[in-house]
Structure 1
Amino acid sequence: MKKICEIAELSEDEFFSYFIKNLKVKITKWDYFVNWEKVIKNVKPIERELNLLNCLIGKEDFIREASELILEYPQVIKAIPKLLAIRENSIEILVDVTKFIYKAFDFTINKPNREKATDFARFLLDSGIGKFLKDREIKNLVDYVTGVEVGLDSNARKNRTGSLMESIVEVFVADACAVNNADYISQATASKIKNKWGINIQIDKSSRQIDFAINKNNKLYFIETNFYGGGGSKLKSTAGEYITMNQFWNKQGIEFLWITDGQGWVSTQLPLREYFNQADYLLNLDMLQKGYLNKILKKF
């Protein structure tokens, strides 16, 4: 019998059915919505430049005013990409679609001549942001770029779900280690494990990081965590990867625990079951709440 089934006192079919029936719908926490620290960090370095560009608000002769501003304060050039939610420091614009002629803009330039300054002024106008400034549709560029950064940060929510799952699991890992006189490392690497516990492990790739490594009496337990709110090919590939990973760690006497959750597994049960058929440990958040990790460390 699988070790996790022995702890749960359930058959493999009963355990898997229980696992699927108790998957969470969401794990949204307050820090899921916006990473405000990151937003402020991205706005702060160009705050002065944005305030200088505020001088262009309401200017009728926009090209002339913008060109003069850029010549006098060339540092404002580096802020231009932020106005259009661009991360790159250079960009090529297709200016002639019949001949495929491109015009290059380098936003790292330090000392533009008048021609270059005019080019940047026209860039602002032709990209649309200049018209918004000219027509006073934007009141303050610092506030505007803060909003742009919030929008860009929303794209990172998918990645934050993984981080949220890790932060939730760590609460249970820390508690189980405290109760069982064990120690753990988050984002563990071979070097971290060697330095902290003096244990050598073989790794399958140099960049390998384990979400959590637990050491109890020099017995290692490796934990990987993830949360899938929706289905897709990623779930299948993850399950396949973890089958291989489980075998790789088990050969070194390391217990591998996969803690995963989310309704995505309801419609993608087959690859999850294939993993479970070949591994000893599969847990979700409900099982952590019921003390399964504590029981694992206590019994084995």
Structure 2
Amino acid sequence: MRLVKWYLDHGIQSQDAFQYFMSNLQGTLRTWDYFVDWQKVRTNLNSVIIELNMINSLIGSKNFERDFVALVLKYPEIKKVIPILLAVRDKNITVLENLDRGSFVQTTFDFNSAAINESIARDLLNFIVQSKLSELFTDAGVKNFVDYVFGVEVGLDSNGRKNRGGTLMENVVGIFISGAAARNPALQYIKCASASHIKARFGVKIVVDKSNRIFDYAVFNNKTRKLYLIETNFYNGGGSKLKSVCGEFRSLNSQLKKQNIDFIWITDGEGWKTTEYPLREAYDELDYVINLRMVADGLLDSIVSEGQ
């Protein structure tokens, strides 16, 4: 750990720095847009709203099979909404049939094709009946498939929370990096920076441990001619992953240091409280291991702007 001026300005001595880091770990990284991407939900719904209103006419049908075949023959575009009724985004669905008879028959249903005839319509009807979708029209009490699919889209989007959670830390740090660059015209940065991007943008050749490694951020100070490579992560829970990432970043830091490149590891989350020893080893070896509280209080800005 490099005891830069920021620590002294905040009354933090070298022997207390790690404890300061640990005592300022965040319990969550959830922001308001973490829960549901409402714009995505509305966009997806609007793309099929006409077709959903068409199939609304089948709700409560006394002869669903006849009425479905007639409707899809007249409006084959309604085929595309069938998968979303099952909370599936695939437009080609393959089903394994007749397992109870020891037969492994695969049947593929194409919901993307505009082609339609009596045979295709009957195949689609078979899919709807076998998947029990037909019960939504006759028995389940669905009043409006627009409202139904709105709920399906919200549910599917909740599966995207893992992806949103994976980029939240990166995005939060990005706010502070862009702020630092706005205040200091000497700073330039790249998000998702590969070695080739860094060479093309900053004219700095780097050798990395993995040919496909992409850093969350690369920040270049034109005044000091210094390059900073930044990785970010957040861990709510413990596990072997935390220990392995400590070893990985110690090795990466050593390799970059030989090239006169500074590596900044921004990490947070209470998961570190269960893996303190490996983190302490990395903290002592790397120049910069900082958390979000320290970033918000100006440490990252101080490092990249002042070349500390």
Q: Could you tell me the TM-score, scaled by structure 2's length? A: 0.87
Pick aligned residue for 2:204 from 199, 203, 226: 199
Q: Residue type of the partner of 1:100? A: S
Distance 1:190 1:129, change over 3 A: same
1:155 is aligned to 2:140: no
Q: How does 1:137-216 map to 2 (within 5 A)?
A: 137-180=141-184, 181-216=186-221
1:100 is aligned to 2:99: no
Moved over 6 A (4+): none
Distance 1:178 1:187, change over 3 A: same
Distance 1:157 1:12 in 2: 38
* Structure 2: runs of 5 or more not aligned: none
The Cα of 1:6 is off from its aligned counterpart by 7.0
Q: Deviations over 1:116-172 (max 9, x none)?
A: 312211322332222112236222222222211111111121221232222221222
Pick aligned residue for 2:118 from 111, 114, 117: 114
SS in structure 2 of the partner of residue 184 of structure 1:
strand
Q: Deviations over 1:82-112 (max 9, x none)?
A: 1111122222333322313433322233323
SS in structure 2 of the partner of residue 223 of structure 1:
strand
Distance 1:160 1:182 in 2: 27
Q: Which residue of 2 aligns with 1:33?
A: 35
SS in structure 2 of the partner of residue 125 of structure 1:
helix
Q: Could you tell me the TM-score, scaled by structure 1's length? A: 0.89
| Aligned residues with identical type, % of pairs | 44
> Given that residues 58 and 136 in structure 1 are in contact (C-alpha distance below 8 angstroms), is that contact kept between their aligned partners in structure 2?
no
> Given that residues 214 and 222 in structure 1 are in contact (C-alpha distance below 8 angstroms), is that contact kept between their aligned partners in structure 2?
yes
67-76 vs 25-34, greater mean Cα deviation: 67-76
Q: How does 1:241-260 map to 2 (within 5 A)?
A: 241-260=248-267
Q: Which residue of 2 aligns with 1:8?
A: 7
> Given that residues 5 and 15 in structure 1 are in contact (C-alpha distance below 8 angstroms), is that contact kept between their aligned partners in structure 2?
no
SS in structure 2 of the partner of residue 248 of structure 1:
helix
Distance 1:191 1:114 in 2: 55
Pick aligned residue for 1:235 from 227, 242, 250: 242
SS in structure 2 of the partner of residue 195 of structure 1:
helix
Distance 2:74 2:268 in 1: 56
RMSD in angstroms over aligned alpha carbons?
2.4
Pick aligned residue for 2:82 from 50, 55, 80: 80
Q: How does 1:219-298 map to 2 (within 5 A)?
A: 219-297=226-304, 298=306
Q: Deviations over 1:242-270 (max 9, x none)?
A: 22322232222110111011111111223
70-79 vs 237-246, greater mean Cα deviation: 237-246
Q: Residue type of the partner of 1:195? A: A
Q: Deviations over 1:156-201 (max 9, x none)?
A: 2122123222222122223334455422222223343333323333
Distance 1:4 1:114 in 2: 77
Distance 1:143 1:238 in 2: 44
Distance 1:202 1:268 in 2: 30
Distance 1:114 1:274, change over 3 A: farther
Residues paired across the two proteins, number: 299
> Given that residues 226 and 307 in structure 2 are in contact (C-alpha distance below 8 angstroms), is that contact kept between their aligned partners in structure 1?
no
* Structure 1: runs of 5 or more not aligned: none
> Given that residues 223 and 259 in structure 1 are in contact (C-alpha distance below 8 angstroms), is that contact kept between their aligned partners in structure 2?
yes
